[in-house]
Amino acid sequence: MKQVTIAICNYNYERYLAAAIDSALAQDYPATTVMVVDDGSTDGSRAILDSYGDRVLALYKRNGGQVSAYNHAIASLNSEYVIFLDSDDVLYPSAVSEIMRLFDGGPWAKVQFRLDVMDSEGALTGAYVPNSEPPHDCGRLLRSGWLYPSPPASGNAYRVSALKQIFPVPEEGVNRYGADFYAIYGVALAGPIATISKSLGGYRVHNAGSETVAFANSEQLTKAPRAFNMRWAILRNIAKDRLEVELPATFLDFSHEKATFCSSVYRATFFRRWHWMLLDSGSYLHTIIANPFWSLKKKLGTLVLSSLCLVPYSPLSDFAVRYIANPLARRRVPGR
């Protein structure tokens, strides 16, 4: 039986850490090892880890950020496959078994799966991510600059040999976070991607209700575009130096353009909304119209919703922006 590691990178998440570890230990796939890399936590995380004894391989390091923790974890792996589980997320008991059925059936570099969105208390919201599925040959589209639809970090299982073609990733300077960016997209250059069209875990979203445009946990809306541009530049260098793959200077991604769209038109004046749509929306509209992962129906629906930001009634405009940006805004709310 092939060995699988569930690697949990933790920093000061003692409130959620036990739930993540328990979900990893509860897997019904016998050849599963649980590793926790603690990135210099200063809360009670170490006491929680110590309480598991030899059921968990605990690795302690000085604080260096998420990229540093991924580098350390990947260098320590002895298994053929790994799932990187965020320390505030959970896996369902059959996750590893279902993932390994796909790995056993093809030369996949990565198997990805849906995650149910939870609130900060762990209650299911009725939403899930991602809402689109990529083709197997994501690498071909990535070579043209298209970032493919992927779940957050916890929704991805990797062939370790593919990851080691991308990692280690530079840790210095501002590149402390976003390790999952390099894993998710870089690994598509090393082999094909498979998708499981069901939820195998839960993704916890903090402070992101249905009345906001915020959804991702790691970065503020206004910072995300700049961070993605920096990571793409680093990934280009890695691809060129280690894989002899030449990636384009810029990338195409609706999620990235959506962040710019939201920060520009949400709760903006009527004039500002029209000004942005007329003069600055070219890249945003291109990632809708030319999107190789979307159906015609989804493209038309997104264009119609986007056009609502031009109406003079700001509550309707802001609702449309929230609906586009935040999956929680699309759920049915009891009593409404």
Average pLDDT score over residue span 278-286: 97
Whether pLDDT at 250 is above 80: yes
Convert the pLDDT of each residue in 28-81 to its tens digit: 999 999 999 999 999 999 999 999 999 999 999 999 999 999 999 999 999 999
Q: What is the band of 214 on the pLDDT scale with cuts at 50, 70, 90?
A: low
Answer yes or no: are the C-beta atoms of 260 and 195 closer than 8 Å. Answer: no
Average pLDDT score over residue span 15-33: 98
Q: What is the band of 329 on the pLDDT scale with cuts at 50, 70, 90?
A: confident
Average pLDDT score over residue span 17-26: 98
Q: Position 242: which residue type?
A: R
Convert the pLDDT of each residue in 155-213 to its tens digit: 999 999 999 999 999 987 667 889 999 999 999 999 999 999 999 999 999 876 666 77
CATH for 4-216, among 3.90.110.10, 3.90.79.10, 3.30.200.20, 3.90.550.10? Answer: 3.90.550.10
Strand positions, DSSP E, the chain: 4-10, 32-39, 57-61, 81-86, 90-91, 110-118, 124-129, 156-159, 193-204
List the one residue out of 33, 145, 12, 171 whose CA is nearest residue 86.
Answer: 12
244 Rama class: left (phi>0) / alpha (psi -120 to 50) / beta: left
Chain centre to alpha carbon of residue 295: 22
Distances from the Cα of 219 to the Cα of 147, 211, 216, angstroms:
18, 18, 7
Every domain of the chain and the residues it spans: 4-216, 254-330
Count of alpha carbons within 13 angstroms of residue 106, beta-carbon side:
13
Q: What is the band of 225 on the pLDDT scale with cuts at 50, 70, 90?
A: low
pLDDT of residue 328: 84
Omega of the bond leading into 130 within 30 degrees of 0 (cis): yes
Whether pLDDT at 85 is above 60: yes
Q: What is the band of 336 on the pLDDT scale with cuts at 50, 70, 90?
A: very low
Distances from the Cα of 110 to the Cα of 77, 153, 160, 267, angstroms:
16, 12, 9, 39
Answer yes or no: are the C-beta atoms of 24 and 8 closer than 8 Å. Answer: yes
Burial group, residue 56, by CB count within 10 angstroms (0-12, 13-18, 19+) = buried
In the chain, DSSP finds a helix count (H) and a strand count (E) of 13, 9
Convert the pLDDT of each residue in 108-130 to its tens digit: 999 999 999 999 899 999 999 99
pTM across the whole model: 0.92
Percent of the residues in the chain that have a pLDDT greater than 70, as a whole number: 92
Query: Three-state SS for 78?
Result: coil
pLDDT of residue 326: 85
